Amino acid sequence: MNFFSTIKLVFRTLLARKGRSFLTILGIVIGVAGVIIIIALGAGAQSLVLGQITKIGSNLLSVMPGKSNEKGPPSQIFGIVVTTLTREDAEALRDTGRVPHALGVVAWVRGTATVTWQNKNIDTNFSGTEYTYTQGVNVPIEKGRFYDQQEERGNANVVVLGSSVAEDLFSQSGVDPLGQIVKVKTASQKEPGGIPLRVIGVAAPRGTAAFQNQDDQIFMPLGIGQKQLLGINYVQAIGIKADSADNLEQTRSDIKAVLMERHHIKKEVDADFTVRNLADAVAVLSTITNALRLFLTSMAAIALIVGGIGILNIMMVTVAERTREIGLRKAVGASNAAVRNQFLLEAGTLTLLGGLVGIVMGVIVSYLISLLMHYLGYDWAFVISLTSVILAVGVSILTGVIFGLYPAFKAAKLNPIEALRYE
């Protein structure tokens, strides 16, 4: 029997058992689609992470209180309050003689507060920060201006609103936010009514960056946020913008030297602060996403193995059901190789069809996920790599061949006389 005749026989046999063939193919479809989707999700997540971090500014270094492993998260992530950084530390880092490649240095504190205007109240995030904030982080102003050095140093009662905060407070009334007095109050603040602040600026819409809605926040002088809202005398972080990416490591070393001297620390291992750059954050988050993607890919691979076992079971049942047919074919001259090849082709065809359908399903689902993420406002890349397609189809076919070998050889070795007697 030639190859094309064998193919016709294979399809005729599979079509005669539509339900069984469909269930067998379904396991392969789920496994292959899972591999495609997971690899696409991994690529999309990594693009999201990279885009979210780089949106906050380029060539940035951040100094956080507390010592942490270079590859681990800072202690603040776990809710540990560390008070080792001060505003004076930020002033020392502005010394161009000691940190020559620093273009901008800014200290800040952050928290949540309720903003009130007339009878409207909204909950939002606030940043108590220095006037140099815009030197490192891109904050385009749509109306008015950011506060200047004199206002910030004098703890003037001024505020810059994020675009969504301004819209929520003033859009229905039609009142221009500039010059209006809003009151800001934290949950722990004892002063009734909150601190009155005059609106001097409204930021342009910026969307989401660093996994935070940049439009749902307000900016005020550091002393207001630090002492009047939070009641603290330390800062939560210091940001430094280097003049170029090539000088990031040198700037990091300069920062460590200045702060260790100021904090009277002799050995770096005893440092009470951590200096990080964007590359560190990207590396840590990429490691997490890669580990998650590997884990989920393993789960998809298990689905492929389960599909392969399904093929093994189906082919074993098929051999048992068609024992008399196999004996008749061998009695009229079919060789062992012809019988073996027929059953291998049946297994391979099932997995190939499952692989092709799985690719289509995987691409469609991945595209729908990317559309959903874009709708939610995230920069999610739709990536289907040729490697993932080849890997998924290759593994599916290999699975069919491997799990189809035993039934195929078992069918080929049947004695024609005993097979014809089989009931």
CA 352 to chain CA centroid, Å, is 32
Judge residue 190's burial from the number of C-beta atoms within 10 Å of its C-beta, 0-12 exposed, 13-18 middle, 19 or more buried.
exposed
For the chain, how big is the Rg over CA atoms in Å? 33
pLDDT for the residue 394: 76
Residue 259 phi/psi, 5° resolution? -70, -35
Residue 65, pLDDT score:
86
DSSP letters along 92-159, please? HHT-TTTSTTEEEEEEEEEEEEEEEETTEEEEEEEEEE-TTHHHHS---EEEE----HHHHHTT-SEE
Separation between Cα atoms, residue 203 and residue 161, nearest integer Å: 6
Structure tokens at 119: 């009878």
Residue 108, pLDDT > 80, answer yes
pLDDT at 380: 79
pLDDT over threshold 70, residue 157: yes
- CA end-to-end span of the chain: 26
Query: What's the CA gap between 419 and 7, in Å, rounded?
Result: 23
Nearest to 402 by CA among 330, 307, 320, 273: 307
Least confident of 93-102, 259-268, 277-286, 288-297: 277-286
Q: Say yes or no to pLDDT of 199 above 90.
A: yes
Lowest mean pLDDT among 33-37, 139-143, 322-326: 322-326
Q: What percent of the chain has pLDDT over 90?
A: 25
> Which residue, among 245, 256, 286, has the nearest Cα to 57 in the 3D structure?
245
**Is residue 63 within 8 Å of 238, Cβ to Cβ?**
yes
Partners of 196 in beta bridges: 183
Q: Which pLDDT does position 60 carry in this prediction? A: 81
Domain ranges of the chain: 3-53+283-421, 83-271
Mind listing the pLDDT tens digit for each residue in 6-26?
A: 666 666 766 666 777 777 777
Range from 33-37, 95-99, 383-387 that averages highest in pLDDT: 95-99
Task: State residue 140's pLDDT score.
Answer: 85
**Does 213 score more than 90 pLDDT?**
no
pLDDT recorded at residue 31: 76
Among 233, 229, 236, smallest CA distance to 183 is for 229
pTM of the model: 0.60
Q: What is the reported pLDDT for 300?
A: 66
The pLDDT of residue 2: 58
- Residue 81 has a CB neighbour count (10 Å cut-off) of 11
